[in-house]
Structure 1
Amino acid sequence: MADNENPTVLLESNDGFQFIVRKSAAMKSSAIKGMLNKRNNFTEAIENRIVFQNMSGAILEKVCQYFYHYEKYKGSKEEIPEPDFITPELALELLFISDFLDC
């Protein structure tokens, strides 16, 4: 990582909630990885900010929690615990979002 590159990214929901997330965690998503690739010359990479027009703050919060859960256990040899922050009420919507984000 270049010295002047920010190690975090701002993720914003369609209802205005903002989450500052480590890029190392957010890069779990192929979609986010592509948006932040400077070679693609997307506005998101230039501004270091991604606004998700299709995601509420409640859902984006769970996505961010999942990124950190994944990063915490990545490469672990022990059994990875199921995320306890995913409620049945949000499970279907999170499934659709995970497909969109490719994570």
Structure 2
Amino acid sequence: MPSKYIKLITHDKHQFIISRDSANVSQTIKAMLETSMFKESSTNKIQLEENALIMNKICEYFYYNLKYNSNNDEDGDIPEFEIPTEMALELLVASDYFNC
């Protein structure tokens, strides 16, 4: 049975332990965890090139997406996901890699 949590390790050695459900927002991470050809599927650890600052914002987005996309909010009261201007370009590149 797969673990409910996975560990994301940034290139600057910070570790983020997040729920597998939130990580599955990323199609890239989901594929790594579901395909037995990737060691990540058995270790539940993924080494990443992002730094901790960017990865923190990405993890925030995973949880935001999980909360608001799985919650069919009838009122349409979904808050805007805030992206600091100085992080916008790096987050755009990361979102392309993570396919989310």
TM over 0.5: yes
Match of 1:48 among 41, 44, 50: 44
Identity over aligned residues, as a percent? 37
SS of the aligned residue for 2:94 comes to: helix
For this pair of structures, how many residues does the alignment match? 97
Structure 2, unpaired ranges of 5+: none
Could you tell me which residue of structure 1 aligns to residue 27 of structure 2? 30
Conservation of the 8 A alpha-carbon contact between 1:34 and 1:40: no
Partners in 1 of 2:98 and 2:14 — Cα distance?
A: 18
Could you tell me which residue of structure 2 aligns to residue 58 of structure 1? 53
> What is the root-mean-square deviation of aligned Cα atoms in Å?
1.2
| Consecutive aligned runs of 4 or more in structure 1 exceeding 4 Å deviation | none
| TM-score normalised according to structure 1 size | 0.88
Partners in 1 of 2:73 and 2:23 — Cα distance?
A: 19
Shift of 1:79: 3.4
Shift of 1:11: 0.6
Structure 1, unpaired ranges of 5+: none
Conservation of the 8 A alpha-carbon contact between 2:36 and 2:42: no
| TM-score normalised according to structure 2 size | 0.90
Partners in 2 of 1:5 and 1:20 — Cα distance?
A: 15
Partners in 2 of 1:76 and 1:33 — Cα distance?
A: 25
